[in-house]
Structure 1
Amino acid sequence: MEYGGQSIWAVLVTIGVIVLASAMIYGLLRNRNRTVTEKVVTERATKEIYRQEDRDAT
C-alpha cells in the first residue's frame, strides 16, 4: 500500500513537468513570430513608460 502514494506523486510530478515544458514552448513559439510593426509598437510603448517613470521620479 505504501508504494501507491509514491507512484501517484511520480505521475503528478511527471505531468507537471510536461505541462510546464508545453507552456514554455508555446510562449517561445508565440513570441518568436512577431511582425516588425509589433516590435516597433512594443519599443515605443516601453520607451514611453520609461519616460513617464522618469517624470514621476523627479
Structure 2
Amino acid sequence: CIRDRLYTMPNVILTPHISGVSVHYDDRLTKLFADNLRRYRAGETLRNRYEPQRGY
C-alpha cells in the first residue's frame, strides 16, 4: 500500500491537515500547550501524541 510506504520514506515528511486557521486558533493552541505542560509536569500522557505503532 502506498500509504504504508510513505511512513518509511526518508525524503517524505508527513504533517497533519492544518491548511486553515480560525479566529479561535490561538486560544485553542494556547490551551492545548498549557494542558500538555501541566500533564508533562505531572507525569501524565500528553494530548495529541504521534503514535506510529497505532498506524498514524
TM-score bracket relative to the smaller structure: 0.3 to 0.5
Question: TM-score, normalised to structure 2's length?
Answer: 0.35
Give the TM-score, by structure 1 length.
0.34
Flag the structure with more relative contact order, 1 or 2, with Cα contacts below 8 A and sequence separation at least 6.
Answer: 2
